[in-house]
């Protein structure tokens, strides 16, 4: 029966009942009076019963009309409340936000400041280094570092921040090891690589035209931490490809030296990934925008 009843018919019926007038109901609904009358007639026809007694001077609900109003009013109120709640959530930053990200102090601070700004957010954050593919579906946003071209997947990628990078080595290492001049030389010298997030090897460079060039390297020191890579480079354990910002202090102090090659290392980029649903909760774009604003603010400090 429900599939044969137009919701607008019920809305017109309720408005006529509450105003005891087709004309006032039409004004309230911003409809012609004839439309409201037709809605009631169609509803009565479908239910095979009269809902109002009509005279030239007044209208009054029939016993069946009274029963229909009292039975359906709570249901329509609940439906209206439910729709209003969903609409509100789609426009407000609220609900549980599930994030997968690297264990980074800077990212941690950005997440904390977002939750402080939006107290209606309930956070669930995982810092797993290398989750399984089928594990990713439970997250709203995945933050991940990448260098070079992204692999095709079903997620939308938004760039948060990029860091120009350099190949660096300690003076200690350069005294005992031939200094590379071409990226192919990296196959013959010890290198420090990442074994998870950036897939370690090959290293990714860009030529003068901005095209990606890859080079496999030799590595016996594989880490998943930028700070640990810096420490390894300082100790002379290998050449490292690092964001210049991360080791600027050590370079200025002469503890690390930039190694110039024919190609520049590609930038390290932090991306936020989220699923490509047409309608997403406001919390997701709000969080990504917050991360981007935080990154820009740090750049200008």
Residue 246 sits in a domain whose CATH number is 3.40.190.290
| CA 133 to chain CA mean position, Å | 17
Residue 147 confidence (pLDDT) above 80: yes
DSSP strands (E only) in the chain: 52-54, 59-61, 95-100, 121-126, 141-147, 155-163, 165-169, 190-194, 203-206, 212-215, 218-223, 239-243, 257-258, 264-265, 268-275
Average pLDDT, the chain: 86
Q: Are 205 and 266 in contact (CB under 8 A)?
A: yes
Write out the residue range of the structural domain in which residue 81 sits: 2-87
Residue 238 confidence (pLDDT) above 90: yes
Does one domain contain both 133 and 222? no
Does one domain contain both 33 and 52? yes
| Residue 1: predicted pLDDT | 59
Kindly tell me the number of DSSP H helices and DSSP E strands found in the chain: 9, 15
| Residue 301: predicted pLDDT | 38
| Residue 29: predicted pLDDT | 85
Q: In whole angstroms, what is the distance from residue 294 CA to residue 107 CA?
A: 9
Does one domain contain both 188 and 209? yes
| Residue 224: predicted pLDDT | 80
In this prediction, residue 300 has a pLDDT band, given cuts at 50, 70 and 90, of very low
Does one domain contain both 208 and 275? no
Angle between helices 105-117 and 283-299 (to 10 degrees): 130
Residue 132 confidence (pLDDT) above 70: no
- Helical H segments across the chain, by residue range: 7-19, 22-29, 33-47, 63-91, 105-117, 171-176, 226-234, 248-252, 283-299
| Residue 293: predicted pLDDT | 92
Of residues 267 and 77, the one with the higher pLDDT is 267
Does one domain contain both 131 and 215? no
Query: Which of 242, 153, 257 minimizes the C-alpha distance to 203?
Result: 242
127-131, 149-153, 248-252, 277-281, range with greatest mean pLDDT: 248-252
Q: Are 167 and 232 in contact (CB under 8 A)?
A: no
| Residue 91: predicted pLDDT | 61
| Residue 264: predicted pLDDT | 94
Does one domain contain both 273 and 156? yes
Q: Is 206 exposed, middle or buried (0-12, 13-18, 19+ CB in 10 A)?
A: middle
Residues of the chain with pLDDT > 70: what percent? 87
Q: Indicate the range of 4-13, 39-48, 134-143 predicted with least confidence.
A: 134-143
Q: What is the pLDDT of residues 156-195, one digit of tens each?
A: 899 999 999 999 999 999 999 989 999 999 999 999 987 5
Which tokens sit at 284?
Answer: 């997701």
| Residue 108: predicted pLDDT | 92
Q: The CATH number of the domain where 66 resides is what? A: 1.10.10.10
Which tokens sit at 99?
Answer: 């994030």
Residue 299 confidence (pLDDT) above 60: no
| Residue 298: predicted pLDDT | 62
| Residue 294: predicted pLDDT | 87
- Give the chain's domain count: 3
- Per the listing, tokens 């950005």 go with 110
Does one domain contain both 146 and 282? yes
Q: Which of 39, 66, 87 is the last residue of a domain?
A: 87
Q: What is the pLDDT of residues 56-111, one digit of tens each?
A: 778 889 999 999 999 888 888 888 777 666 655 556 788 889 999 988 888 999 99
Q: Are 236 and 156 in contact (CB under 8 A)?
A: no
| Residue 82: predicted pLDDT | 75
Does one domain contain both 262 and 277? no
The radius of gyration computed from the CA coordinates of the chain, to the nearest angstrom, equals 32
Does one domain contain both 138 and 223? no
DSSP string, 109-120: HHHHHHHHH-TT
| Residue 93: predicted pLDDT | 83
| Residue 151: predicted pLDDT | 77
What's the whole-number mean pLDDT along residues 272-281?
74
pTM: 0.67
Does one domain contain both 78 and 126? no
* Coil, strand or helix at 6: coil
Q: The CATH number of the domain where 108 resides is what? A: 3.40.190.10
Does one domain contain both 107 and 37? no
Cβ within 8 Å of residue 133, ≥6 positions away? none
| CA 135 to chain CA mean position, Å | 16
In this prediction, residue 139 has a pLDDT band, given cuts at 50, 70 and 90, of confident
What's the whole-number mean pLDDT along residues 266-272?
93
Q: In whole angstroms, what is the distance from residue 36 CA to residue 32 CA?
A: 7
Of residues 52 and 136, the one with the higher pLDDT is 52
Angle between helices 22-29 and 7-19 (to 10 degrees): 120
What's the whole-number mean pLDDT along residues 232-251?
94
Does one domain contain both 146 and 285? yes
Q: Which of 61, 87, 113 is the last residue of a domain?
A: 87
């Amino acid at each position: 029966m429900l599939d044969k009843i137009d919701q607008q018919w019920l809305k017109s019926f309720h408005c006529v009942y509450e105003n005891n007038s087709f004309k006032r109901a039409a004004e309230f609904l911003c409809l012609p009076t004839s439309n409201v009358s037709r809605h009631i007639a169609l509803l009565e026809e479908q239910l095979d019963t009269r809902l109002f007694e009509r005279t030239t001077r007044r209208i009054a609900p029939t016993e069946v009309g009274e029963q229909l109003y009292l039975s359906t009013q709570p249901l329509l109120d609940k439906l209206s409340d439910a729709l209003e709640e969903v609409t509100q959530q789609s426009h407000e930053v609220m609900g549980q936000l599930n994030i997968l990200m690297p264990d980074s102090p800077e990212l941690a601070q950005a997440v904390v400041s977002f939750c402080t700004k939006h107290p209606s957010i309930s956070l669930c954050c995982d810092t797993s280094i290398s989750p399984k593919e089928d594990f990713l579906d439970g997250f709203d946003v995945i933050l991940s570092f990448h260098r070079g071209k992204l692999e095709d997947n079903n997620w939308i990628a938004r760039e948060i921040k990029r860091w120009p990078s350099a190949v660096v080595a300690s003076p200690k290492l350069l005294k005992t090891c031939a200094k590379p001049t071409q990226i192919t030389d990296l196959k013959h010298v010890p290198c420090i690589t990442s074994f998870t997030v950036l897939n370690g090897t090959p290293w990714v460079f860009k030529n003068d035209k901005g095209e990606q060039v890859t080079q496999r390297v030799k590595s016996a020191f594989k880490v998943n931490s930028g700070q640990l890579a810096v420490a390894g480079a300082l100790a002379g354990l290998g050449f490292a490809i690092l964001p210049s910002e991360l080791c600027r202090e050590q370079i200025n102090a002469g503890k690390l030296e930039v190694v110039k090659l024919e190609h520049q290392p590609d930038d390290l980029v932090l991306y936020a990934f989220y699923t490509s649903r047409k309608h997403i909760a406001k919390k997701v774009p709000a969080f990504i925008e917050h991360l981007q604003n935080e990154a820009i603010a740090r750049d200008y400090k």
